[in-house]
């Protein structure tokens, strides 16, 4: 190993203490082409037009102390997205329209100045060479001499162009339209150290079809601008219910799933106790009277045969079939955790609302012990009648489970929480939270789906009696919201905001899911239970835990029931659990109308690995399709034998078998080219056959934490971040190139970095 003199060592020590910026990286995807375009790529006849989309490269910025210096230039990189059209030889002309998007999947950059001067700027030039200056949701700015859109702290999907026209008048020459995307890291000549280690990940999308995030699909397609249509209310404080709205600019689904058909509105004013009759021990009983200690059944008022039904769900569905009721009035079902068709019952979720750019879901039915586990705060599993009747509930459960797994809100750490905080209703101590929800349940979803869930701040201070029972036991939705999540929320120790992916519904989630006619009548004792039970889609007929404690007492949590009622119970009671969480703002809508039978589907995407490096593709993608796409980041190709090889020419294997060009890529498949052993300073390490140093740095075998750094003039070294720092070199002590293939015969060495 080369030695440096004392003065040079001092310089290296200073450099090692500087903040390194881990920069902006952009991946990209080619959006799905029309089936006919993809399918005809290999046919010899020329009777169809060929439209394809390409992205030429990744955008990659790695701001460091070497390339972002005081008084120096900004750092920029550019990628070009192309739409390419060739007409068929029969007509020699073709016209199509397409969409262009920029989607930011992840971004943890911040503004480092009080003035919030833009630090990451996106500049887009259209095919005519003109700058794009207007994108909804982004501000067009000039910062550091660069004009473009401020994306410093942005996430989400942004539409660049809608129905952009491309025309071809030739069957032999392509018409090419190029969109130029440039991302610039702005050198502000101020201290930007707070952005050290930050990452922005984004995609350029060109598509024949419109692309929506799930949130934008609901707010732009389902919400018509008129509150109440499609069951959606925009909480802007305006309109008929404005004074009772949350005022947080959220979009929330409100109202009941079942409604009396228009033809029978003159006959029935409510579903329960009028259309649906409850019989306990052979006598007609009001549903609001509670559980039946003996036998019970339901009948339909109009049914002269007096057919008896043993579950509320069955009697409601019969009334729908007979035309007396309509269902699916709240179209907010989402299939999450599965791509099967039809969607399995256990994978049905519902949208509570859109909050900012995130969409909040809740499980449509209670989670099972297979999902939540039998450890933590698990209480046991019983029949629906045992669970509901034990708390005095009438048998009005409308879910699909015959048995319910129940969980304490906080039991295992009941005494510990009191001992350490003086309270027993502290959510951070609950093993329902830490074990059942954020360990067992989260793991049960699998990596692909759990990665779609955003880390969320949960406000767990709860509500006291002045707000829950503010007027002789009565209150309203706005009062509850303000105390729970608004200006009156409790955030003092030990009830500080809690960060996690999975939680439970808020009380305000529940009351705002009811028909807005009841937002001003929460807990009103003059309301008949039979009137409200079908006026809230979120109520499935049983007590539900919420994440909010009853702050009057040290050991009570708030529960919700009967559509518009709030109560409280001690935290070692046990109920079914419906996990709730927010999806990442980048999750895309695929299809579905939100009904139970045709729930909203998310864009299917799966992950696989080649030599330990992660790649993403749509489901049912062949290797040929992947090779010809821009997701092929490391130049894999097809050899003469029709097998897939990496950039070094080594055949890719799955379980020891060669991969054919026609094979479908396997979800979570671990593909590789076989292991080799190499040395650095005579210490052995492992890599895959034909692996470049760039691939190695990004793989699981990079146990040293090697990095690729740009020294200067586009010279890239493999860097080992120690004190002093080193770069990897060959046996002649020359730094190696990141594109070099790792060799088992080369004697690699560490060279002290000269800075």
Whether the pLDDT of residue 36 is over 80: the answer is no
Is the confidence at residue 349, as pLDDT, over 90?
Answer: yes
Q: DSSP letter at 432?
A: I
Residue 391 — pLDDT band, cuts 50, 70, 90?
low
pLDDT tens figures, 570-624: 999 999 999 999 998 778 888 889 999 999 988 766 678 888 776 766 667 788 8
Cβ pair 343, 240 in contact under 8 A: no
Q: Tell which residue, 177, 185, 199, 191, has the closest CA to residue 118.
A: 185
C-alpha span between 315 and 296 (Å, rounded)? 13
Looking at residue 69, its pLDDT comes to 64
Given a cut of 80, whether residue 3 has pLDDT beyond it is no
Q: Is the pLDDT of residue 433 over 90?
A: yes
Please, which pLDDT band fits residue 704 given cuts at 50, 70 and 90? Answer: confident
Cβ–Cβ < 8 Å for 720, 706: yes
CA distances from 289 to 120, 158, 194, 391 (A): 62, 53, 60, 12
User: Does the pTM exceed 0.95?
Assistant: no
DSSP 692: B
Residue 626 · residue 635 · CB < 8 Å: no
pLDDT > 90 in the chain, percent: 49
Mean pLDDT in residue range 153-180: 91
The average pLDDT across 196-208 equals: 81
The pLDDT value given to residue 65 = 61
Identify which of 1-5, 144-148, 635-639, 737-741 has the greatest average pLDDT. Answer: 144-148
Higher pLDDT, 527 or 41: 527
Token output for 674 = 């076989």
Query: Does the pLDDT value for residue 2 go beyond 60?
Result: no
Per residue in 464-523, pLDDT (tens digit) is 887 887 666 789 999 999 999 999 999 999 999 999 999 999 999 999 999 999 999 998
pLDDT for 326? 96
Q: What average pLDDT does the segment 431-438 reach?
A: 97
Q: Among 11-20, 197-206, 320-329, which is the least confidently predicted range?
A: 11-20
Note the pLDDT of residue 243.
96
């Amino acid at each position: 190993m080369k030695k440096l003199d004392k003065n040079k060592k001092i310089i290296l020590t200073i450099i090692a203490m500087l903040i390194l910026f881990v920069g902006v990286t952009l991946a990209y995807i080619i959006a799905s082409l029309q089936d006919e375009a993809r399918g005809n790529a290999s046919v010899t006849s020329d009777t169809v037009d060929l439209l394809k989309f390409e992205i030429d490269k990744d955008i990659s910025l790695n701001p460091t102390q070497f390339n972002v210096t005081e008084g120096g230039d900004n750092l920029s990189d550019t990628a070009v997205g192309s739409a390419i059209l060739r007409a068929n030889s029969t007509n020699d002309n073709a016209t199509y329209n397409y969409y262009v998007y920029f989607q930011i999947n992840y971004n943890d950059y911040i503004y480092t100045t009080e003035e919030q001067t833009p630090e990451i700027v996106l500049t887009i030039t259209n095919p005519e060479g003109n700058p794009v200056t207007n994108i909804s949701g982004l501000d067009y700015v000039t910062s550091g001499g660069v004009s473009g859109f401020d994306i410093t702290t942005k996430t989400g999907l942004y539409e660049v162009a809608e129905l952009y026209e491309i025309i071809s008048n030739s069957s032999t020459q392509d018409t090419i339209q190029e969109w130029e995307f440039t991302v610039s890291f702005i050198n502000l000549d101020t201290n930007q150290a707070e952005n050290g280690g930050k990452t922005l990940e984004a995609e350029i999308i060109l598509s024949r079809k419109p692309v929506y995030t799930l949130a934008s699909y609901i707010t732009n397609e389902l919400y018509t601008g008129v509150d109440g249509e499609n069951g959606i209310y925009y909480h802007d404080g305006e309109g008929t219910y404005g004074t009772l709205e949350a005022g947080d600019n959220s979009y929330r689904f409100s109202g009941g799933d079942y409604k009396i058909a228009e033809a029978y509105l003159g006959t029935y004013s409510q579903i329960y106790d009028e259309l649906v009759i409850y019989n306990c021990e052979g006598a007609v009983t009001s549903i609001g009277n509670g559980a039946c200690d003996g036998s019970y059944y339901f009948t339909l008022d109009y049914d002269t045969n007096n057919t008896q039904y043993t579950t509320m769900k069955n009697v409601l569905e019969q009334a729908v079939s007979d035309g007396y009721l309509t269902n699916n009035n709240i179209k907010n079902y989402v299939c999450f955790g599965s791509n099967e068709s039809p969607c399995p019952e256990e994978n049905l979720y519902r949208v509570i609302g859109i909050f900012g750019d995130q969409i909040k879901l809740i499980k449509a039915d209670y989670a099972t012990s297979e999902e939540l586990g039998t450890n933590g705060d698990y209480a046991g599993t019983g029949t629906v009648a045992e669970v509901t009747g034990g708390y005095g509930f009438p048998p009005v459960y409308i879910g699909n489970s015959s048995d319910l797994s129940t969980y304490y809100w906080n039991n295992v750490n009941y005494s510990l929480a009191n001992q350490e905080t003086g309270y027993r209703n502290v959510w951070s101590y609950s093993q329902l939270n830490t074990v059942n929800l954020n360990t067992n349940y989260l793991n049960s979803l699998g990596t692909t789906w759990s990665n779609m869930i955003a880390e969320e701040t949960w406000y767990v201070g709860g509500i006291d009696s002045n707000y829950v029972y503010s007027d002789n036991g009565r209150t309203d939705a706005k009062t509850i919201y303000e105390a729970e999540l608004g200006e009156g929320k409790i955030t003092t120790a030990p009830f500080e905001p809690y960060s996690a992916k999975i939680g439970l519904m808020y009380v305000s989630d529940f009351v705002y899911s009811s028909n807005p006619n009841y937002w001003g009548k929460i807990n009103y004792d003059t309301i008949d239970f039979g009137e409200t039970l079908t006026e809230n889609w979120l109520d499935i007929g049983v007590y539900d835990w919420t994440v909010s404690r009853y702050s009057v007492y040290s050991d009570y949590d708030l529960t919700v029931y009967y559509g518009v009622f709030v109560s409280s119970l001690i935290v070692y009671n046990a109920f079914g659990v419906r996990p709730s969480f927010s999806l990442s703002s980048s999750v895309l809508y695929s299809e579905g109308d939100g009904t139970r039978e045709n729930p909203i589907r998310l864009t299917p995407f799966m992950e696989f690995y080649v030599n330990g490096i992660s790649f993403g593709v749509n489901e049912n993608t062949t290797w040929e399709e992947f090779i010809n796409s821009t997701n092929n980041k490391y130049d894999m190709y097809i050899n003469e034998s029709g097998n897939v090889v990496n950039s070094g020419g080594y055949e890719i294997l799955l379980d020891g078998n060669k991969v054919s060009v026609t094979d479908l890529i396997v979800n979570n498949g671990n593909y590789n080219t076989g292991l080799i052993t190499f040395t650095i300073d005579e210490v052995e390490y492992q890599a895959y056959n034909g692996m470049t140093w760039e691939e190695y740095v990004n793989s699981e075998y990079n146990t040293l934490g090697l990095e690729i750094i740009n020294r200067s003039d586009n010279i890239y070294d493999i860097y080992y971040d120690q004190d002093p720092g080193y770069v990897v070199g060959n046996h002649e002590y020359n730094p190696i190139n990141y594109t070099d293939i790792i060799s088992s015969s080369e004697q690699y060495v560490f060279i002290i970095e000269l800075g």
